[in-house]
């Protein structure tokens, strides 16, 4: 199944964005894709989300020959849910099966099967997978 992208979508370059099969990106998303931005298979992205692949140096003294910006890739794994109005910053990986609550800013990596929310986003809880559930049941 092909990815589904609802316009309008804005992209800095447009050719550094990779969508997995059956992924869905809702309208008004923005991609600063100076480095690869990868959206995993079956991942759902809400409206007004931004993927900021470039950052400013913290001080003008840190600028080097490359200028005032530096960039890092962004990876969103398979089977993730990204709520509306989420901002994902450069260098962040959101691992498989994780959920990001609406209106949050993701500044650090999110481990597999976790829910994060807040500004900056923090882990709220682990998502119980079917495999975890089966192993708990077998212990009883």
Residue with tokens 């089966």: 134
Burial of 78 (0-12, 13-18, 19+ CB in 10 A): middle
Tell me whether residue 56 is one of the annotated catalytic residues.
Answer: yes
Number of continuous H segments (helices) and E segments (strands) in the chain: 1, 18
Contact (CB, 8 A) for 72 and 91: yes
Contact (CB, 8 A) for 73 and 36: yes
Options 19, 52, 56, 57, the catalytic residue = 56
Which distant-in-sequence residues (6+ apart) come within 8 Å of 69 by Cβ? Answer: 34, 54, 55, 56, 57
Alpha carbon separation from 30 to 9, 52, 98, 109, 117 (Å, rounded) = 6, 8, 21, 20, 20
| Active site (catalytic) residues | 56
């Amino acid at each position: 199944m092909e990815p589904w992208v609802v316009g309008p979508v804005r992209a800095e370059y447009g050719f550094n964005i990779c969508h997995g099969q059956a992924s869905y990106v809702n309208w008004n998303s923005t991609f600063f894709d100076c480095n690869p931005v990868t959206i995993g298979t079956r991942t759902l992205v809400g409206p007004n989300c931004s993927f900021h692949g470039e950052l400013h140096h913290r001080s003008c003294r840190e600028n080097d020959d490359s200028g005032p910006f530096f960039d890092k890739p962004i990876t969103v794994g398979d089977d993730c849910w990204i709520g509306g109005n989420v901002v994902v910053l450069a260098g962040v990986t959101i691992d498989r099966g994780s959920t990001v609550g609406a209106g949050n800013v993701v500044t650090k990596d999110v481990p597999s099967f976790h829910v994060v929310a807040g500004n900056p986003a923090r882990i709220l809880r682990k998502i119980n997978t079917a495999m975890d559930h089966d192993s708990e049941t077998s212990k009883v």
